[in-house]
A and B are shown apart, each in its own frame.
Chain A
Amino acid sequence: MARRLPRTAWFGAAVVVAYAVLSVAAPWLAPHAPDEVFVGGTFEPPSAEFWLGTDNLGRDVLSRVLYGGRTVLLLAGSASAISVAVGGILGMFLGLRRGVVDQAVMRLLDVAMSVPPIIFALLLIGALGPSAPLIVLVVGLLFVPNVTRVIRAATLSVAGEDFILAARARGESRAAIVLRELLPNVAGALITEVSIRTGFAAIFISGLGFLGFGPPPPAPDWGIMINEGRSTIDASVWPVVAPAVCLALLVMSLNLFTDGVGRAIDRTAR
């Protein structure tokens, strides 16, 4: 399949990997500490010392963007992992089980999906106080219904295939059928979901930060940075533009990768 991946997907993957490397290496790459304040140096334009200028408190924008990448990748990645793990297992279970249990759980998930996710997240995080683990958990669980639906649909289409029926006719155990016959054949859908949900979670978590429900300050979070720079955008655009572009590029790259994988799977399935 890898050979059939379109070039745009490779580009997306390369950007995401670059983000991961830059985030991990942030402590060595960042010219300054993310919360180091340069007194008298607010709203500096880009220069040799501050490549992307400084913000309203005189902090280096480049360093904050680099550290902010860690926050968003870690939180969004973990949230996506939770949603795909829970939704994937639930979706496969329901797709194989079918019947009344399947219908009941799916209707419950429909109800859960009818609540606007941002309201739900703000309610919970507002009540319990913003902390990184809570944000990850809430965002991860919010995406579970969507993932469950997709994986259940993929399972249903695979479960009717002759090779699953043949495996049952060979007397294979249910666990063996899930691991050997089902899982590799819904792996494409799972990979796609991981990447879609990571992109959604990145936007969602940055949105929470923008609304003041992100990780508590002075954590360098792109959403918080955009919000802080917004009111002083006439003094300097860099504190807003830098994190906004980073976020947009990350989500776009994730989408390009997802789209490419999806198309490659479609073609393989033909």
Chain B
Amino acid sequence: MTATDLVRVERLSADYRDGAGWRPVLRDVSLTIRAGEVLGLAGESGSGKSTLAALLLGETMPERRIRAGHVRFGGIDLFAAPRDTVQALRGRRIGFVPQNGGASLTPTMRIGGLLRSLLRHHRPELSSRDVGVRAERVLAEVGIPDPPAALRRFPHQFSGGQQQRIALALALACEPDLLVLDEPTTGQDAVIRQAMLALLRAIRRERHLSILFVTHDLATLAQLCDRAAVMYQGEIVETGPAPDVIERPSHTYTRKLMAALPRMDDAALADRVAAQ
């Protein structure tokens, strides 16, 4: 594949501040995400994968600091570019679905309000009719039944799985080039997880966007990703085509991760969900 690189993470080192002071959370991380590619990022809790995902949004916060390196999105250096430029990318060209999709929806706003304010902010050229049409269409795309009625409801009126899908709809609403998913299937039962993976595969087919899929579950990686990267203690210890990383792990840590995996028959389950 000769596709161009959409995201380039170059020798990125970052610290995180906790009660004890600054401690390194990313060490000399380099990574590329090509246009149209799904990259899986695996690793245990605390390995730095969520921090890396957040930094792809150019997000620096008081408790994080960049020690070295760059993150370039479509050629724009996210840490050097003006604030407005980076802010305009977020939500518009980079969609982010946080780990707890339900908690990421403002509880005091209706789904319609959330979607419409997002679309109006990033796509001011759209007429209010178009905004409404797009809001309904993206809800339908993520499988929310009866979108016109859903737009009038508040987040707490949906189930956990539906809230996650609505968070995905918000990330997709402005037709981003990159979708960052931070553990979108964590804490869900196997049926909902398979349905979510099926949805992501469909979205990928339809939209040809790039996806960074962060997970600690190597089994889901195999079902969705072209390439996989494994993180351990803030470093990327292994990258390669997803089947290779999972079938023939070269690093000791990846082998341990694979060995620790409970062998559930996810493939059979996927077939059942697909049959429904």
A168 to B107, CA, bound (A): 16
B100/A162 in contact, CB under 8 A: yes
Q: Within 8 Å of chain B (Cβ to Cβ): is A161?
A: yes
Contact partner, A180, options B100, B103, B109, Cβ 8 Å: B109
Q: B167 at interface (Cβ–Cβ under 8 A)? A: yes
- Interface status of A31 (Cβ within 8 A of chain B): no
- Interchain CB contact under 8 A, A166 and B96: yes
Interchain CB contact (< 8 A) of B92 among A161, A168, A171:
A171
Q: Is A98 an interface residue (CB 8 A)?
A: yes
Question: Bound complex: CA of A168 vs CA of B57, how far in Å?
Answer: 10
Contacts of A161 in B (CB 8 A): 103
Decide: A180 and B91 in contact? CB cutoff 8 A.
no
The one of A99, A169, A176, A181 in contact with B57, judged by C-beta atoms closer than 8 angstroms, is A169
Knowing A170-B96, A170-B170, A172-B121 are in contact, say whether A184-B108 is a contact too (CB < 8 A): yes
User: Contact string, B83-110, partner A, CB cutoff 8 A, digits 1/0?
Assistant: 0000111111000101010011111110
B98–A169 touching, CB < 8 Å: yes
Asked whether A168 lies within 8 Å of B104 as measured between CB atoms, the reply is: no
Chain B stretch 67-92: residues in CB contact (< 8 A) with chain A: 87-92
Once the chains are docked, how many angstroms separate the CA of A180 from the CA of B108?
8
Q: Answer yes or no: A227 CB below 8 A from chain B CBs.
A: no
**Shortest Cβ distance from residue A95 to the other chain B in the assembled complex, whole angstroms:** 13
Determine which residue in A98, A163, A169, A173 has the highest number of CB atoms from chain B within 10 A of its CB, and name it: A169
Residue pair B62, A169 in contact (C-beta under 8 Å) = no
A142 to B251, CA, bound (A): 64
Asked whether any CB of chain B lies closer than 8 Å to the CB of A109, the reply is: no
**A42 interface residue (CB < 8 Å to B):** no
For the side of the interface on B, what is the size category?
20 to 34
Which residues of A (169-227) have their CB < 8 Å from a CB of B?
169-173, 176, 180-181, 184-185
In the complex, which residues of chain B have a beta carbon less than 8 angstroms from the beta carbon of A265? none
Asked if residues B62 and A168 are in contact (CB atoms below 8 Å), the reply is: no
A248 at the interface (CB under 8 A from B): no
Question: Of the candidates A166, A173, A180, which one forms a contact with B167 in the assembled complex, judged by CB atoms under 8 Å apart?
Answer: A166
Using CB atoms, name the residue of chain B closest to A162.
B103
> Which B residues lie within 8 Å of A25 (CB)?
none
Residues of B within 8 A of A169 (CB): 54, 57, 59, 90-91, 96, 98
Task: List A contacts of B62 (CB < 8 A).
Answer: 98-99
Quick check: is A21 within 8 A (CB to CB) of the other chain? Answer: no
Q: Chain B residues with Cβ under 8 A from A98's Cβ?
A: 62
Q: Is the CB of B121 within 8 A of A162?
A: no
A166 engages B121 (CB within 8 Å) = no
Give bound CA distance, A184 to B88, whole Å.
25
Assess the B118–A181 pair: CB atoms within 8 A: no
Q: Is A118 positioned at the interface, with any CB of B under 8 Å from its CB? A: no
Contacts of A170 in B (CB 8 A): 90-91, 96, 118, 121, 170
Residue of B nearest to A187 (CB): B108
A167 at the binding interface (Cβ < 8 Å): yes
The one of A166, A180, A185 that contacts B98, using a Cβ cutoff of 8 Å: A166
Q: Taking CB as reference atom, which chain B residue is nearest A163?
A: B106
Q: Which residues of A contact B108 (CB under 8 A)?
A: 184-185
Give residues 117-138 of B contacting A (CB, 8 Å). Answer: 117-118, 121-122
Q: A99-B62, A166-B96 are in contact. Are A172 and B105 (CB under 8 A)?
A: no
A99–B17 CA distance with the chains assembled, in angstroms: 13
**Nearest 5 pairs of A and B residues by beta carbon:** A171-B90, A170-B91, A166-B104, A171-B91, A162-B103
8 contacts between A and B (CB under 8 A): A162-B104, A163-B104, A163-B106, A165-B98, A166-B104, A169-B59, A169-B98, A172-B121
